Structure 1
Amino acid sequence: MTKSTAVRPGHSPVRRVAAVAGTVVLAGTAAVCAPGVAYSAPRATAPSVTDFRDCPPLPEGVNPGRWRCEVHTAAPRLTMGKVTVNLAPITMTHAEGPLPDGSKGQVWGAMHSSPTAIPGGLTGTPAGDRAAVLGLAIQPEYGGRSDFYTGQFSLRFRLLGPLVPHDCMIGAGDPVDFQLKRSGPSKWVSQDPPVIEFSAYDDTFSAPAAEHCGPLTGPLNRRLGLPAAQGNLMSYDASYTFKTYDQLPTTSPRDSA
């Protein structure tokens, strides 16, 4: 990739839920799209005020006027294994520009996200939606690798719920690697401030099994259809804005926090 700087469950209730989740027959929770076709999710709305507090420090020796901090927001639609969800909006911040030797450089900033409920909860049945204790949610987290020049980045997906151990995660060891392909040309929505919209997707990534989920590890993987080497899809309608570093305050909000 391009040069980049990133870088308890209870006892008897858990056993009962594990037994139920392991025997449930799932139906109607998957919506697998044909390979090579990008699903068009509702477009993410650009924020009226963009926060540049996560802009990272620049590498030594670069020209701030030729480096820009980019902030982009998206509400991706994710099909992974047997489950399809419209993820809550995520925000990613990074910097990019030429290094002193003329090569392309990037510096990772930050990612913010929030949980999204998985329909059917732990059991994949109406009971999983009605009983709060059976709830299940998914939250993407930065996976430690990114190359925004080529549309590559990695994510881990934390699984959350009253009965789910805190460390339960899809991609805990090796994160899920995405290689986004553009669905069409970018569109300038505004010149001042600059706001650009784009659509992209990846239907080639593999989804690993969930790990560190205690007694629920096996039932959860059966419930979610993981691991899944095929039939996965991330559709990504997003908007982004940017400022060059000579337009940013000398002391960023993150530095002064």
Structure 2
Amino acid sequence: MQTHTFLRRAAAGLAVAAALTLTVAGSAGAAPAPGPSYDFSDCPALPAGADAARWKCEVMTATGSLTLGNRTLPEFAPMTVTHAEGPMPDGSRGQVWGALRSAPTAVPGGLSGSPGGDRSPALGLSVQPEYGGRSDFYTVGDDMGLFTVRYRALGPLLPRGCVIGAGETPVEIRLKRVGPSERVSKNPPVIKFAAADDTFAVPAAEGCGPLGRVLNDRLGLPAQTGNAITLAALYTYRTYDQLPPR
């Protein structure tokens, strides 16, 4: 990806994150503006013997831009990722996956791929991210770990099983922090940051029936290069001893 393109997308994403912080600011007294609400109901159960006071449930809400093959989503639907991390009883680092939640995002051009093609209800196309089965969120410097994602392709002419990154070939995203993080709030703890990756490969869509070849041609898949994601994110956490009992 060209540097000026990346910076433009990152700046746009940060503008979205700045708007989302109004929700956090509202918690200090003023009525909150529309934005993410930090719901800890997806916090996973702790491993046996884990110390609740030393384990954190972390919730990240992000939006940004996504390029899969030759199609770019200038702003995808907000995505919320929940996981837990802390020391295992033997002292090693532990992590437990919680959930990934997001609404579908329309693909410009729809299945036809032509300008305005997404205006036809029958040719509409959206993608919705789902957890791909593997993650590691321990940060080292600007490297923010990895998580794998599948993108479910949705449209009136596509079967429900149409997925980009199905089976053993999910999309593997390795995020790097872009610029400094900013603490928005101490209570609750909220941190704003930007991150990106333009090094991942995207496999062809599978399980798409007779239109599978059309879909892959329209998206330019499989694509080993040219894919990219930029995130503008807000992150918060609670230790498990602060969470309500279940």
Q: Quick one: distance in 1 between partners of 2:3 and 2:223?
A: 15
Q: Quick one: distance in 1 between partners of 2:157 and 2:71?
A: 19
Q: Which has the larger radius of gyration?
A: 1
Q: Quick one: distance in 2 between partners of 1:127 and 1:98?
A: 52
Q: Which amino acid aligns with 1:200?
A: A
Counterpart check, 1:59 vs 2:30: no
Structure 2 counterpart of 1:74: 62
Structure 2 stretches of 5 or more lacking a match?
Answer: 25-36, 140-144
Q: What is the aligned counterpart of 1:102 among 74, 78, 91?
A: 91
Q: CA deviation at 1:37?
A: 4.6
Larger RCO: 1 or 2 (CA < 8 Å, sep 6+): 1
Q: Quick one: distance in 2 between partners of 1:54 and 1:76?
A: 22
Q: What is the aligned counterpart of 2:129 among 140, 158, 165?
A: 140
Structure 1 counterpart of 2:146: 152
Q: Deviations for 1:206-236, whole angstroms, at most 9, x for unmatched residues?
A: 0111111111111111100001111111111
Counterpart check, 1:162 vs 2:156: yes
Structure 2 counterpart of 1:248: 243
Q: Quick one: distance in 2 between partners of 1:202 and 1:36?
A: 13
SS at match of 2:118: helix
SS at match of 1:246: helix
SS at match of 2:210: helix
Q: CA deviation at 1:127?
A: 4.9
Q: Which amino acid aligns with 1:166?
A: R
Structure 1 counterpart of 2:209: 214
CA RMSD of aligned residues (A): 1.7
Q: Quick one: distance in 1 between partners of 2:121 and 2:115?
A: 11
- CA change 1:34–1:81 in 2 (3 A) is farther
Q: Quick one: distance in 2 between partners of 1:56 and 1:213?
A: 32
Shift >2 Å, 4+ stretches? 32-39, 41-44, 46-49
Q: Quick one: distance in 1 between partners of 2:106 and 2:5?
A: 27
Q: Quick one: distance in 1 between partners of 2:97 and 2:91?
A: 19
SS at match of 1:71: strand
Choose between structure 1 and 2: higher strand proportion: 2
Please say if residues 33 and 233 of structure 1, whose CA atoms lie closer than 8 Å, have aligned partners that are also in contact: no
Q: Quick one: distance in 1 between partners of 2:173 and 2:81?
A: 15
Q: Which amino acid aligns with 2:176?
A: K
Structure 1 stretches of 5 or more lacking a match?
Answer: 1-31, 252-257
Please say if residues 91 and 111 of structure 1, whose CA atoms lie closer than 8 Å, have aligned partners that are also in contact: yes
Q: Quick one: distance in 1 between partners of 2:174 and 2:209?
A: 31
Q: What is the aligned counterpart of 2:195 among 194, 200, 204?
A: 200
- CA change 1:36–1:206 in 2 (3 A) is farther
* Greater alpha carbon shift after TM alignment, 34-43 vs 111-120: 34-43
SS at match of 2:151: strand
Q: How does the TM-score come out when normalised to structure 1? A: 0.81
Q: Quick one: distance in 2 between partners of 1:140 and 1:65?
A: 32
